[in-house]
Amino acid sequence: MPAVSPDIKQLLTDYDQLHLIAAAESLTEDQVKDLEDQIRAIDFDQITAARESSDSSAGDDAVPRADNAVAPATVVRPPVSDEERLQRQKDIATGNRLLADGAVAVITVAGGQGTRLGFDRPKGMFPIGPVSNMSLFQIFAEQIAARRERHGGSLPWLVMTSDATHQETQDYFSDNSYFGLDPQTVHFFKQGSMPAVDAESGQILMNGSSSICRSPDGHGGMVTALDSSGLLQQLADAGVKHFFYHQVDNPTVIICDPALIGVHDRIQSDLTTNVVRKVDPMERMGVLVDIDGETQIIEYSELTEQQAHRQDDAGNWVFWAGNTAIHVFSLTFLQSLVADGCQLELHVAHKKVPHVRADGEPVDPSEPNAHKFERFIFDALPLAQKTLIVEGDRDREFNPVKNATGSDSPETSQAAISRIGREWLQQSGINVSEDQVVEVSPATALDADELKQKLEAGSVTVAQLTK
């Protein structure tokens, strides 16, 4: 009968979690060792502290934060004057140069479980192209290939996965020959995970007699994972200065938009965020604000209806600057986060977590029963010395796939891809009807100008872009 080591027994006694080894007698030696490793990986103090602080901040403590918030004081807006247009051209030239120099890398965070979409594979594999049916990952791969071709730089691609998505994602890339990219230039790195605990008792939940229920530790786990994978150092050694960060669910993100990279570099920003105008004050989107002179994000769930509608003296919404989760991080800022221990705040979410009871009975809850723990990347904002907010073009850049139906669903995202394609055709002097489904894949063109050139040269036909 395999014995659980005394230090583990003591640890579990101290934290009132002895149920984790209740079935140890029926396990093999290897299973016990594996279970011990899972237990050793848990920071019990951290979980307890996160639950306690979430209990004490429940209720109306969130109100003062929103009440103290004002709209961000400085935002780089789309250019309107000649002077601003000239500056934009200079920023684009800087961005182009940095890309050519190999000073930029792309991070795609793709470790989430995508529960709202209800797709049973990693979200990046979701088929989104309205004509081609190509996946989110393929669209990004084509964009990266096209940027490398256009700018001539190495542009490494870092894909963050989790236990939930790692193997399938790697297999998908390999089964599809990395969509034509050199596999040496695509780096997968796996984020950490956190145990789920019973919301009432605080007891850690199990999947079976030797397996603890775990889930990815949030997109904020990116900083630790990037460091512990060795990639941060590797890319620093290779001359990367800036990291373009985006989420896996937005097919119309302009990866490494030279204008964004350029302005980030000019301002010497630690952390730059692309924002777009909320369409409605109650839209479920985090917003960038200033609180006591610091750039922060307020989550939609933190705002009461009245707060969400608050206007400034000029009649503008205070909470207008919706976070697209498109960021540029400077290498030095990421290194400083690592030096400080990467400790972004641990948030507690109340979720449904199926599990197995100590008596072996499976439980599939119909109501939230558990606490899960996640870090959010935007909690890095107040830690930055210098932040920059840039207003993007919502229709062009932000059309995410979050939900199975309704807003931010495959239907709205595909309609946006099609609309963008129709607009680009119109800019080439080709009119297509409003209900025509169009898709311009990144391999065909990265923008309207490139499409125009290809149509004029005859290397692309309208028939190839429509169905």
Where on the chain is the footprint of ligand UTP (CB under 6 A)?
Answer: 109-116, 123, 160, 162, 191, 216-219, 247-249, 374, 402
Supply the minimum distance, in Å, between the C-beta of residue 249 and ligand UTP. Answer: 5
Supply the minimum distance, in Å, between the C-beta of residue 383 and ligand UTP. Answer: 19
Radius of gyration over alpha carbons of the chain, in Å? 24
Q: Is 174 helix (H, G, I), strand (E, B) or coil?
A: helix
Comparison of 200 and 364: residue with beta carbon closer to ligand UTP: 364
CA atoms within 13 Å, Cβ hemisphere of 73: 7
Q: Which residue, 449, 447, 392, 387, is CA-closest to 420?
A: 447
Supply the minimum distance, in Å, between the C-beta of residue 301 and ligand UTP. Answer: 12
Q: Rounded to an integer, what is the distance from CA 287 to the centroid of its chain?
A: 15
Task: Enumerate the H helices of 15-159 as residue ranges.
Answer: 29-40, 44-57, 62-67, 82-100, 136-151
CA–CA distance, 70 with 166 (Å, rounded to integer): 40
State the pairing for strand pair 287-291/294-298: antiparallel
| Structure tokens, 326 | 């498109």
Comparison of 110 and 254: residue with beta carbon closer to ligand UTP: 110
| Structure tokens, 199 | 């919301």
Comparison of 249 and 270: residue with beta carbon closer to ligand UTP: 249
Comparison of 15 and 189: residue with beta carbon closer to ligand UTP: 189
Supply the minimum distance, in Å, between the C-beta of residue 192 and ligand UTP. Answer: 9
Comparison of 95 and 400: residue with beta carbon closer to ligand UTP: 400
Residue for token pair 């933190």? 302
- The angle formed by the CA atoms of residues 16, 20 and 23, to the nearest 5 degrees, is 130
Q: Is 38 helix (H, G, I), strand (E, B) or coil?
A: helix
160, β-bridge pairs: 109, 189
Comparison of 263 and 401: residue with beta carbon closer to ligand UTP: 401
Closest residue to bound ligand UTP by CB: 112
For 179-320, strand residue ranges (E) read 186-190, 193-195, 197-198, 206-208, 211-212, 214-216, 242-247, 271-277, 287-291, 294-298
Q: Which residue, 296, 229, 209, 284, is CA-closest to 20?
A: 209
Supply the minimum distance, in Å, between the C-beta of residue 71 and ligand UTP. Answer: 24
Supply the minimum distance, in Å, between the C-beta of residue 325 and ligand UTP. Answer: 6
Comparison of 217 and 270: residue with beta carbon closer to ligand UTP: 217
* Cβ–Cβ under 8 Å, residues 123 and 409: no
Comparison of 15 and 245: residue with beta carbon closer to ligand UTP: 245
CA–CA distance, 461 with 68 (Å, rounded to integer): 54
Supply the minimum distance, in Å, between the C-beta of residue 272 and ligand UTP. Answer: 18
Supply the minimum distance, in Å, between the C-beta of residue 41 and ligand UTP. Answer: 16
CA atoms within 13 Å, Cβ hemisphere of 136: 26
Supply the minimum distance, in Å, between the C-beta of residue 247 and ligand UTP. Answer: 3
Comparison of 191 and 369: residue with beta carbon closer to ligand UTP: 191
